[in-house]
Amino acid sequence: MITREEFDILCRDEVRTAIRANCRRNPTEIALDRRVPEARLVATQVKYLQRALGKLPSYYEAGCILPPRAFEQASSEQCAAHKAIEGERVLDLTCGLGVDALFLSRRFRQVVALERNEVLANITRENFRRMGITNIEVVTTSAEAYVASCTDSFDWIYADPDRRSAEGKKMVRLEDCSPDVLALLPQLKRLSPHLCLKNSPLFDVDEALRLFPTCRVEVVSLNGECKEVVLYDDGTGPSITATAIGLGSVTHAEHPIAPPPADFSATPYRWLIIPDVALQKGRIVRAHLAGKGDCWSENGYGFAVERPEEVLGRTFEIEAIEPFDPKTLKRSLKGQRVELLKRDFPLALEELRRRLGVREGCEQRLAFTKIGPDYWTIRLK
């Protein structure tokens, strides 16, 4: 964490100028350059600003101060912009670097954002000033203290609890995170009827619906990676939505799903469906593929006779489906560059490459899976 003294240094004009002037250089070179004032601090800021170009472009453009740990824990701007809540006033219990608060400020007239660490609160205020944001009030206090004494009301309460213990261990259970939203829930309901709760991508969807039976659960992915599980506790559920940012969303409410065929037969299938990871995490792969293809597992592939339309995921035309035979495959591939894909398959990709004697590349594309007791190789066009 940046200290109070370091924060004061980073606000000095000559240091801000040095960061701007060196923002395209190698941070290691900057740290060793005696011509750069406060070279170590400048190098660290340049390192994280360069990383912010993709994750936090607004912060990069404004030349914001980026504490390393707060940067790592922050939402990406693409995920923050996706939060589907709006109104007059919102209370953000866990401001941190303020990325979520920044995008909430575009949907609400006023944002009250809580940050218990005094230095981080000052950094966030300074960053909002640099970005020209005027409707966010950053309050230096804990969520517990603020909620206990607050007499205001809000349209929504937003929380992204800290999922790291004091020793740096990752936490998943809500009760172990800070603040403990479950313990605060009765007081939060006094302040607002609506709660939006961001959770780790490891958070269990069934657990979300157990704790909040009438909530909407949204699993969000970006570029093929599950990023977060968001709960909207506003009484409009229960439902599960899988969202792949930039690709689309699908929502599933409870209704029966037809079972897959009893046995897997390779003959009729001409298309392989690779469901997006948000569908997998939400356990709604089979619900989404109903009527579009056959699927034997929430973690597996889908198979279709005709090319499926409006699928949240990728589709590939199948050249052949055959039983997995590593010895025969190794002889036929002969050290080629092959793109390997797998779902519901016990071997890691590196182990598969080793056993097949192939290098990573795109001369061929093979997919591997297990259906029932059998292992399969799918050759893709």
pLDDT tier for residue 103 given thresholds of 50, 70 and 90: very high
- A 10 A CB-CB count for 284 gives 25
Percentage, residues of the chain above pLDDT 70: 97
pTM of the predicted model as reported, rounded to 2 decimal places: 0.90
Mean pLDDT of the 6-27 span: 97
Tracing tokens 């439902």 back to the chain, one arrives at: 239
Backbone angles phi, psi at 144, to 5 degrees: -60, -45
Nearest 5°: CA angle at 253, between 251 and 255? 130
Per the CB < 8 A criterion, the answer to whether 60 and 53 are in contact is: yes
Answer yes or no: is pLDDT of 156 > 80.
Answer: yes
Q: Where are the domains of the chain?
A: 4-55, 72-252, 271-380
Mean pLDDT of the 274-294 span: 94
pLDDT of residue 177: 86
Mean pLDDT of the 235-253 span: 92
pLDDT of residue 255: 60
Q: Which position has the higher pLDDT, 335 or 128?
A: 128
Tell me which H or E stretch contains 233: strand 225-233
pLDDT tier for residue 171 given thresholds of 50, 70 and 90: low
Cα separation of 108 and 14, whole Å? 36
Percentage, residues of the chain above pLDDT 90: 87
pLDDT of residue 237: 86
pLDDT of residue 166: 62
- CATH number of the structural domain 72-252: 3.40.50.150
pLDDT of residue 261: 78
**Tens digits of residue pLDDT in 178-220:** 899 999 999 999 999 999 999 999 999 999 999 999 999 999 9
Tracing tokens 């929504």 back to the chain, one arrives at: 156
pLDDT of residue 363: 86
Mean pLDDT across the chain = 93
pLDDT of residue 266: 79
Q: Token digits for 274?
A: 């690779």
Answer yes or no: is pLDDT of 340 > 90.
Answer: yes
